[in-house]
């Protein structure tokens, strides 16, 4: 059996063209460039019989080279390099907020000084009161570790300069910072060069994506959204920009050939999004294969049998593969909270079982940089163990997708339009905010149409990237929702300005109005009066309560299994709010912090049965039950709260971003309901 790994490497256009410079507003290319993006090809390079496909999106590579060649004017890195004793108060607060927004597990805890500063800062909402306790040395060390923690320990070990800096551990000087940042461009270039050298040695295949990562089927014909899912809220715009879609594909092919000398054979369409009317665009540009999600195949064949995904297909002369969602999601989500070596061995045994069943191929496709922050060792032990097993295997062979491009394939006569999320496009189209963003884009496109200014065209194509639409709506959350909204609209503004057009007022109108609140999966419909004893003695105790299902949590590009909790129940009587937390099986929950938007902060020490407020009653046995006086929370028609669960040396927030929002139930509400 052949195992086909495709690691998808992508970031949207975080830059905007301003006065002849590329100004970067978010630092994630820099933050991942010397870590996950480097470690992935490095791990492959150590095993001579392991072959994978790396899908490198052109807009990501462009940004890599901007940092490597000194063209990136990045707000974050400029602040990190600014002398600590010349920072303004607002700049220090900016640093204290943003420079800890990296993985605590893989970036902060491994460095004692970084972790100390993280704990010293406290929660983000405490910056206003705590920033004055940071002296110049503290801030300088924080500037240093924000950048240093973004460099793979593998690269540190190979580099004498970085090793010497690591040995110092704290009390860094401005010259130490300067030495560190002088190393960054060459390290970014080293990452790109590693991919290219592995490709030249035929150790990996490099595929790509339409240039700025657009949802191509929507650009070609926005009606594909409704065809894919008839329940999609119909947008008040219509796209039919097939020439624009062609430009994304042809520009990607030319860039990879002219800049890196790579003749691209295959593409992972952005978000695995496909439709019948995009097939011809790939073919006319010389693309030999594409890939998508298994749901697309199942819907195309109108079957529920997953057995059909383990072979290549051909549609209108184009080879197409379909990812095994279960296998891909095991790496992306399931194994993130488990032992890496055990997970790798389990994964290999599953592959062996597939082989014993006589399956031909197993396509495994997922984001190449996103999962590893959630692995205990950054995924290195997992990859090392898995690649070692595959390298020795005689039953399983790893192959690139092009290795199978000439082999016999089953014929597909139709292709369901959709993406890797639910087999439709509702992650990008349908929500009021998403539709408003498409309408903004459509309006600006019509105003810019016909311009010959290449920067105006670039800005417009940047705005067509899928990421902006991903973050609008309430299905994905990020603390950077304002920045994503602003960058999207700045691309539109610059497209108009470079085209010599007047900027209409709507471009300055934010699409996302506020941080999204998580609404209940089940609303409360009656008063409850549970016994606070930590056990559920009767089904009726919480009959009529509301509930949040939290066994999976959104972490932006991915969904992850929650570690501590499965569900949160809530309900009221006239005097009290009741919360009941159902823990995940086998977890040692030790502490809960609850913050309400009214300013109430509660700490529940479950091991010692203590609470910071004596008016709060709680009990923890099989479940955690909490009873809070409404008068403590303050008079309000609704309450917003979030919590942090701790235990086993792990800390997890619920929800990951934003707040739970519940409506207070009163007697007059019950009179209406009944």
The pLDDT assigned to 556 comes to 42
The number of C-alpha atoms within 13 Å of 84 and in the hemisphere containing its C-beta is 21
> DSSP secondary structure string, 139-167?
HHHHHHHHHHTTS-HHHHHH-HHHHHHHH
pLDDT (0 to 100) of residue 563: 80
Residues 93/131, Cβ–Cβ less than 8 Å:
yes
Lowest mean pLDDT: which of 15-24, 65-74, 514-523, 562-571? 514-523
Cα separation, 633 vs 405, in Å, equals 63
The predicted-structure confidence for 640-668, as pLDDT tens digits, reads as follows 998 989 888 777 888 866 789 999 888 77
Residues 123-134, mean pLDDT to the nearest whole number: 87
600: part of which helix (H) or strand (E)? Answer: none
- Which position has the token pair 């410079």? 21
pLDDT at 359: 96
pLDDT of residue 635: 80
N residues, the chain: 674
| Nearest Cα residue to 638 out of 577, 592, 566 | 577
559: confidence class by pLDDT, cuts 50, 70, 90: very low
pLDDT, position 515: 58
pLDDT at 673: 45
pLDDT at residue 551 greater than cutoff 80: no
- Per the CB < 8 A criterion, the answer to whether 253 and 285 are in contact is yes
Q: What is the pLDDT of residue 648?
A: 81
- Overall average pLDDT of the 19-45 stretch: 97
Strand, coil or helix: 290: strand
Average pLDDT of span 198-211 = 98
- How many CB atoms lie under 10 A from the CB of residue 210? 34
pLDDT at 671: 54
Classify 502 as helix, strand or coil.
coil
**Where exactly are the structural domains of the chain?**
25-49+67-200, 208-311+409-425, 432-515, 518-673
Q: Does the structure show a pLDDT above 70 at 159?
A: yes
Mean pLDDT for the stretch of residues 336-359? 95
pLDDT digits (tens, 9 = 90+) for 589-632: 999 999 888 778 899 999 889 998 889 999 999 999 999 999 88
Q: Where are the alpha helices (DSSP H) in 223-339?
A: 224-228, 242-260, 276-284, 294-301, 325-332
State which fold the 518-673 domain adopts: Immunoglobulin-like (2.60.40)
Chain segment 60-113, per-residue pLDDT in tens: 999 999 999 999 999 999 999 999 999 999 999 999 999 999 999 899 999 999
Answer whether 227's CB lies under 8 Å from 278's CB.
no
3 state SS of 85: helix
């Amino acid at each position: 059996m052949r195992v086909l790994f495709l690691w998808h490497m992508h970031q949207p256009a975080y830059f905007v063209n301003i006065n002849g410079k590329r100004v970067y507003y978010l630092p994630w290319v820099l933050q991942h460039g010397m870590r996950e993006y480097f470690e992935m090809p490095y791990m492959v390079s150590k095993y001579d019989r392991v072959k994978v496909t790396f899908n490198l999106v052109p807009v990501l590579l462009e940004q890599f080279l901007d940092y490597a060649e000194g063209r990136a004017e990045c707000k974050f890195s400029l602040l990190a390099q600014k002398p600590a004793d010349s920072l303004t108060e607002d700049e220090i607060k900016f640093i204290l907020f943003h420079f800890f927004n990296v993985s605590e597990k893989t970036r902060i805890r491994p460095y004692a000084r970084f972790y100390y500063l993280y704990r010293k800062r406290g929660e983000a909402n405490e910056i206003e009161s705590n920033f004055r306790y940071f002296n110049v040395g503290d801030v300088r060390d924080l500037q240093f570790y924000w950048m240093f923690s973004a460099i793979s320990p593998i690269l540190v070990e190979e580099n004498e300069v970085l090793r010497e800096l690591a040995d110092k551990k704290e009390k860094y000087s401005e010259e130490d910072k300067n030495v560190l940042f002088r190393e960054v461009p060459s390290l970014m270039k080293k990452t790109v060069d590693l991919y290219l050298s592995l490709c030249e040695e035929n150790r990996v295949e490099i595929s790509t994506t339409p240039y700025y990562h657009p949802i191509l089927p929507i650009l070609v014909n926005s009606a594909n959204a409704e065809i894919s899912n008839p329940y999609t809220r119909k947008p008040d715009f219509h796209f039919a920009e097939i020439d624009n879609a062609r430009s994304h594909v042809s520009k990607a092919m030319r860039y990879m050939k002219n800049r890196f000398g790579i003749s691209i054979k295959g593409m992972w369409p952005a978000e695995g999004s496909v439709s019948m009317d995009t097939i011809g665009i790939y073919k006319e540009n010389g693309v030999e294969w594409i890939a998508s999600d298994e749901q697309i195949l199942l819907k195309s064949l109108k079957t529920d049998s997953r057995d059909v995904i383990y072979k290549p297909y051909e549609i209108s002369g184009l080879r197409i593969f379909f990812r095994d969602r279960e296998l891909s999601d095991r790496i992306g989500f399931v194994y993130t909270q488990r032992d890496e070596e055990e997970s790798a061995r389990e994964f290999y045994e599953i592959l062996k079982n597939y082989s014993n069943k006589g399956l031909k191929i197993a396509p495994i496709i997922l984001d190449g940089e996103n999962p590893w922050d959630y692995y205990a060792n950054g995924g290195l032990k997992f990859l090392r163990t898995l690649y070692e097993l595959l390298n020795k295997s005689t039953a399983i062979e790893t192959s690139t997708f092009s290795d199978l491009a000439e082999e016999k394939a089953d014929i597909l006569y139709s292709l369901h339009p959709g993406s890797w999320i639910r087999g439709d496009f509702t992650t990008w189209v349908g929500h009021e905010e998403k539709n408003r963003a498409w309408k903004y884009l459509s309006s600006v496109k019509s105003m810019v149409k016909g311009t010959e200014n290449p920067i105006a065209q670039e800005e417009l194509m940047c705005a067509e990237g899928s990421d902006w639409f991903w973050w609008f709506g309430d299905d994905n959350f990020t603390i950077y929702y304002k920045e994503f909204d602003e960058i999207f609209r700045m691309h539109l503004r610059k497209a108009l300005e470079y085209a010599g057009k007047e900027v209409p007022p709507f471009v300055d109108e934010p699409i996302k109005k506020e941080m999204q609140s998580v609404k209940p999966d089940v609303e409360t419909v009656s008063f409850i009066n549970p016994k606070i004893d930590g056990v559920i003695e009767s089904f009726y105790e919480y009959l009529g309560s509301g509930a949040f299902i939290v066994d999976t949590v959104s972490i932006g590009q991915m969904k992850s299994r929650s570690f501590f909790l499965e569900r949160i129940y809530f309900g009221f009587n006239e005097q009290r709010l009741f919360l009941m937390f159902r823990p995940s099986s086998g977890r040692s929950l030790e502490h809960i912090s609850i913050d309400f938007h009214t300013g109430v902060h509660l700490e529940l020490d479950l091991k010692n049965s203590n609470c910071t407020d004596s008016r709060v009653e709680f009990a923890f046995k099989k479940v955690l039950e909490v009873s809070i006086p409404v008068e403590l929370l303050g008079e309000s028609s609704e309450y917003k709260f979030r919590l942090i669960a701790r235990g086993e040396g792990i800390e997890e927030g619920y929800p990951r971003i934003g707040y739970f929002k519940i409506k207070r139930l009163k007697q007059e509400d019950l009179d209406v309901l009944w």
